[in-house]
Amino acid sequence: MKKLRINSGEWLFGLSGRVTFLISAILILFVCFVDKFHGGKAWIPSYTQHILVTCLLSALLALGLNFISGYLGQTSLGHAAFYGIGAYTTAVLLTYTGLNFWLSIFVGMLMSMLLAIPLAAASLRVKGQFLVVITYAFCEIFRYIAINVPVLGGTGGMAGLKAPEVFGVRITKLAATNKGGYMILLFLLVSVAAFFSWRVQRSRVGYAFAAIREDEIAAEAMGINVKYYKTLAMVISAAICSIAGSIQAAFATMVSPELFSSTKSIQIFSMVVIGGRMSIKGMILGGSLMTILPEVFHSVKDMAGLSFDPWNILYGLLLVVMMRVRPQGIWGRKEKDEG
Amino acid sequence: MLLETHKVTKAFGGLKANSEIDFHIDEGEIVAIIGPNGSGKTTFYNVITGISSATSGQVVFKGKDITHMHPEKITELGMARTFQNIRLFGNLTVAENIVIARHCRRHTGIWDAVVNSKRQRDEIATNEEFVKKCLDYVGIYDKKDWIAKNLPYGMQRRLEIARVLATEPSLILLDEPAAGMNPHEKDELVEIILRLKSDNYSIILIEHAMRMVMNIAERVVVFDHGQKIAEGKPEEVKNDPVVIESYLGKGASGNGTA
Ligand SMILES: Nc1ncnc2c1ncn2[C@@H]1O[C@H](COP(=O)(O)OP(=O)(O)OP(=O)(O)O)[C@@H](O)[C@H]1O
Ligand SMILES: [Mg+2]
């Protein structure tokens, strides 16, 4: 299958996946540990590390949504639901049962995967704006549950979650700062999700997704069970976003109904669109870009003493311009003309 | 008997697009369905391939009742079709279109993909074999890396046939495969259809152009207003007054295309 097009240009600068992984791993380890080996002022401030962690979380979310909005080509403005479900499951389990954090990730995934099935069923026969409404409503339901169920802490959410341990060492103590451990953990998770996506997209399952994206009727006629594969994509997507939620809960040591906000859902969707649907590196870079840009403009606002945040305007503008000029996203593959 | 329908009716509201159609095709046979625009030919295909299910009546394929079976299961059983208004996976390559059609004959799942199992590697090898075999069959192997929608029209129609072959069907349904083709392309198409016949595929062919039907079909079934109004050898049908009145009478030359 080497000659088939989907395969090429997936990793940075034409490097192989393995080399990309190694280089990024070295960079991450460097960022995590440099400040341990010299006495002076920290090279990598805690603020920068915080942003890096957020970039990785975003990348994970984008990789998750990519299964729906990339491979299946369907719009979802409700994926914050799975992010929130993962986070709340972890929070509830840590607070009320004292269950191990790592196990709570799996329980969260299971919850998200189960809840993805009715969402997939509801979305089966609809398209376009109806799908947007359904996914949006799905997420809203969970926001109301989070706000109104007392054990979930209401609008204030749940705070004071303990940091997880890795072989008896708190994750916050692993590296030079309390964020290093999360960075390494998330880096590994993003790598696994990227590897997973890459293997799946060129497989029989990935081609089934592609067929459904292109033409559902023809896909059925070619022997593809459209319902099954749409549900499968939703379940995978939910599981990945749920993992991001669980980590976020531990990292922030708290959860709040804001996790389920439509702003979050839209943000995840725009990361996929701007990064470039179906492109794995697009997800990672798109997620990072949509995390870093707001921060940059926020500091512009502070420095210039503006009374408004320029990002709010640019964000909308960026989406509009992208849709007009480069609908396939920055790193998305063009539908090239070989003819 | 490969495929048999008993009193198949398909109603859209008050309109009976198919009305009590009895139809059958034997192994190795080529049967043509002709009839004026809107007479229910495509609807009949949709019903027997499971894309839309019959309002009443029964469809039996290889001895199995498939009236309410899902389309993907019917494809797996060995029936595959082309579409009147070409439905390729347009943004994918020609080769990828074939690979997708292999879906119903393979069983690898996510796990095989992730660990790159032996099954997965076997699949990739046979896929490549089928890409070669099926595209060669219709003579477009040299275009395998093209994006499907960039192919010239006639080749898109041929790719649809190649894609059908990749599902390893025993019954092939062609829906106006010559529509929009120039005479030269039509000749090539006839050649492909005759080759399919000699390779022992069973074929149902919907076609407006009488002339082409007369050349290749062994039996012709005529639809009008959702009903089967005539059936027989091409020459018989051609001279059947009922057919002449309802079909040729309206279509004038009988050369019309959709
Ligand atoms: N999904 C549908 N809903 C409502 N009416 C339909 C539907 N599909 C087909 N019809 C109607 O059923 C009748 C038969 O249509 P069909 O497409 O089967 O005709 P056809 O014989 O294939 O015609 P053509 O030669 O133009 O392809 C037409 O009157 C058409 O308008
Ligand atoms: Mg038709």
pLDDT at A13: 65
B136-159: string of b/e by CB count within 10 Å (b at 16+)?
ebbebbebbebbbbbbeebbbbbb
Other C-beta atoms lying within 10 Å of the C-beta of residue A107: 18
**Pairing between strand A158-159 and A254-255?**
antiparallel
Quote the percentage of chain B above a pLDDT of 90: 81
pLDDT at B156 over 50: yes
Closest-lying ligand 1 atom to the alpha carbon of residue B39: 21
Q: Which regions of A209-273 does DSSP assign to beta strands (E)?
A: 254-255
Q: For chain A, what is the mean pLDDT? A: 88
Same domain, yes or no, for B195 and B73? yes
Same domain, yes or no, for B134 and B250? no
Closest-lying ligand 1 atom to the alpha carbon of residue B226: 14
Which conformational region is residue B139 in: left (phi greater than 0), alpha (psi within -120 to 50 degrees), or beta?
left
What's CA A38's distance to the chain center, in Å? 34
Last residue of a domain, one of B149, B168, B187: B168
Domain assignment present for B136: yes
**Pocket of ligand 1 contains residue B19 by CB under 6 Å:** no
Please compute, for residue A229, the number of CA atoms within 13 A of its CA located in the half-sphere on the CB side: 29
Same domain, yes or no, for B34 and B144? no
At CA A149, angle to CA A160 and CA A82, rounded to 5?
75
Greatest CA separation for chain B: 65
pLDDT at B104 over 70: yes
Same domain, yes or no, for B61 and B183? yes
pLDDT tens readout for residues A9-64: 566 666 777 888 888 888 988 888 877 777 677 777 888 889 999 999 999 999 99
Q: How far apart are CA A262 and CA A142, in angstroms?
A: 11
Last residue of a domain, one of B168, B200, B224: B168
User: Which pair of structure tokens corresponds to residue B151?
Assistant: 């192919």
How many angstroms separate the alpha carbon of residue B90 from the centre of ligand 1?
24
Same domain, yes or no, for B108 and B120? yes
Domain assignment present for B83: no
Same domain, yes or no, for B156 and B177? no
pLDDT at A334: 57
pLDDT tens readout for residues B159-197: 999 999 999 999 999 999 998 888 899 999 999 999 999
Same domain, yes or no, for B204 and B245? yes
Q: How far apart are CA B26 and CA A32, in angstroms?
A: 72
pLDDT at B40 over 90: yes
Same domain, yes or no, for B173 and B208? yes
CB A249, CB A161: distance < 8 Å: yes
User: Which pair of structure tokens corresponds to residue A139?
Assistant: 């997420």
Same domain, yes or no, for B191 and B143? no
CB A208, CB A188: distance < 8 Å: no
A8 touches chain B (CB under 8 A): no
Same domain, yes or no, for B57 and B27? yes
pLDDT tens readout for residues B27-39: 999 999 999 899 9
Q: Is residue B257 very low, low, confident or very high in pLDDT (cuts 50, 70, 90)?
A: very low
pLDDT at A147: 95
pLDDT at B41: 95
Domain assignment present for B185: yes
CB A212, CB A60: distance < 8 Å: no
A263 touches chain B (CB under 8 A): no
Same domain, yes or no, for B97 and B225? no
Closest-lying ligand 1 atom to the alpha carbon of residue B13: 4
C-alpha torsion B85→B89→B95→B99, nearest 10: -110
Q: For chain B, what is the mean pLDDT? A: 91
Q: Does the predicted TM-score (pTM) go above 0.90?
A: yes
pLDDT tens readout for residues A135-194: 999 999 999 999 999 999 999 999 988 888 887 778 877 777 778 889 999 999 999 999
User: Which pair of structure tokens corresponds to residue B107?
Assistant: 């069983």
Quote the percentage of chain B above a pLDDT of 70: 95
How many angstroms separate the alpha carbon of residue B40 from the centre of ligand 2?
7
ipTM of the complex: 0.92
pLDDT at A187: 94
Domain assignment present for B142: yes
Question: How many domains does one find in chain B?
Answer: 2
Domain assignment present for B39: yes
Domain assignment present for B84: no
Q: Which domain holds residue B63?
A: 1-78+169-258
Same domain, yes or no, for B252 and B182? yes
**Pocket of ligand 1 contains residue B39 by CB under 6 Å:** yes
How many angstroms separate the alpha carbon of residue A201 from the centre of ligand 1?
37
Q: What CATH number is associated with residue B55?
A: 3.40.50.300
Instruction: Give B1-61 as a DSSP string.
Output: --EEEEEEEEEETTEEEEEEEEEEE-TT-EEEEE-STTSSHHHHHHHHTTSS--SEEEEEE
A193-221: string of b/e by CB count within 10 Å (b at 16+)?
bbebbbbbbbbbbbbbbbbbbbbeebbbb
What average pLDDT does this structure show over A80-105? Answer: 95
Last residue of a domain, one of B147, B168, B189: B168
Please compute, for residue B257, the number of CA atoms within 13 A of its CA located in the half-sphere on the CB side: 12
Return all residues near B68 (Cβ < 8 A) that are at least 6 apart. Answer: B53
pLDDT at A193: 96
- Across the interface, do B113 and A204 touch by the CB < 8 Å criterion? yes
Other C-beta atoms lying within 10 Å of the C-beta of residue B89: 27
Domain assignment present for B86: no
